[in-house]
């Protein structure tokens, strides 16, 4: 009787230990998943160019749980890339360089025509619909952690707009 009880207790204890291990594993996976608060990028696209055109614009949407600043953009297809903002100067629409773009915590920032865009200058070749443009974006999040996000932006026709469906 005593021996049976002991075996029973032992089995219960090891079942408890097993459950603890599973819980620890679930917690560890949860930590790994939530620790790097990645900026996510959606709907990246680049406006196509005509022969001889050396610059174009890129649009996309950014999302960050904790907030982040876009500090640099590079592409192997462009000599230079950066953030531009459209401003009105009298009746003239002008472009101005923005040093760092802020993605709000828990919010979405959409680069849209007439507001902000990524400017790609010194293009190494013309871009046609169906091409993809690799872009590397570096962010510094609100904890001071630097993260790099790579996207493949699809090229849309020269006359495409943000509201039109992707081609
Ligand atoms: Cu521009």
Query: What's the pLDDT at 31?
Result: 47
Is 85 part of a structural domain of the chain? Answer: yes
Is 94 part of a structural domain of the chain? Answer: yes
Place of tokens 């819980």: 23
Separation between Cα atoms, residue 166 and residue 143, nearest integer Å: 35
| 56 and 16 within one domain | no
Distance 56 CA to ligand 1 centre (A): 8
Distance 155 CA to ligand 1 centre (A): 17
Separation between Cα atoms, residue 105 and residue 109, nearest integer Å: 10
Query: What's the pLDDT at 28?
Result: 58
pLDDT tens for the chain, 167 residues: list them: 555 555 555 555 566 666 667 666 656 555 444 445 689 999 999 999 999 999 999 999 999 999 999 999 999 999 999 999 998 889 998 999 998 899 999 999 999 888 999 999 999 999 999 999 999 999 999 999 999 999 999 999 988 776 655 44
Distance 25 CA to ligand 1 centre (A): 48
Is 115 part of a structural domain of the chain? Answer: yes
Distance 161 CA to ligand 1 centre (A): 15
Q: What is the pLDDT of residues 51-64, one digit of tens each?
A: 999 999 999 999 99
Distance 62 CA to ligand 1 centre (A): 18
Distance 146 CA to ligand 1 centre (A): 25
- C-alpha torsion 52→43→84→68, nearest 10: -140
| 63 and 4 within one domain | no
DSSP state of 12: H
Is 167 part of a structural domain of the chain? Answer: no
Is 161 part of a structural domain of the chain? Answer: no
Distance 4 CA to ligand 1 centre (A): 80
pTM above 0.85, yes or no: no
| 55 and 15 within one domain | no
| 71 and 8 within one domain | no
| 44 and 29 within one domain | no
| 3 and 73 within one domain | no
Distance 48 CA to ligand 1 centre (A): 14
Query: What's the pLDDT at 167?
Result: 44
The boundaries of the domain holding residue 138 are 40-156
* Residues, CB-to-ion distance under 5 Å, ligand 1: 84, 95, 119
Is 165 part of a structural domain of the chain? Answer: no
CA 83 to centroid of chain Cα atoms: 15
Separation between Cα atoms, residue 62 and residue 43, nearest integer Å: 9
């Amino acid at each position: 009787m005593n021996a049976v009880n002991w075996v029973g207790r032992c089995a219960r204890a090891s079942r408890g230990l097993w459950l603890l291990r599973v819980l620890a594993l679930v917690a560890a996976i949860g930590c790994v998943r939530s620790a790097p608060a990645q900026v996510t990028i959606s709907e990246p696209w680049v406006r196509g160019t005509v022969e001889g055109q050396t610059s174009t614009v890129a649009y996309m949407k950014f999302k960050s749980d904790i907030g982040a600043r876009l500090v640099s953009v590079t592409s192997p297809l462009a000599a230079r890339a950066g953030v531009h903002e459209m401003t009105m100067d009298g009746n003239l629409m002008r472009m101005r360089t923005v040093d760092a773009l802020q993605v709000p915590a828990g919010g979405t920032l959409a680069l849209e025509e007439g507001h902000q865009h990524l400017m790609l200058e010194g293009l190494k070749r013309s871009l046609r619909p169906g091409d993809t443009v690799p872009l590397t974006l570096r962010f510094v999040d609100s904890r001071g952690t630097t993260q790099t996000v790579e996207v493949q932006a699809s090229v849309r026709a020269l006359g495409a707009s943000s509201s039109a469906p992707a081609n």
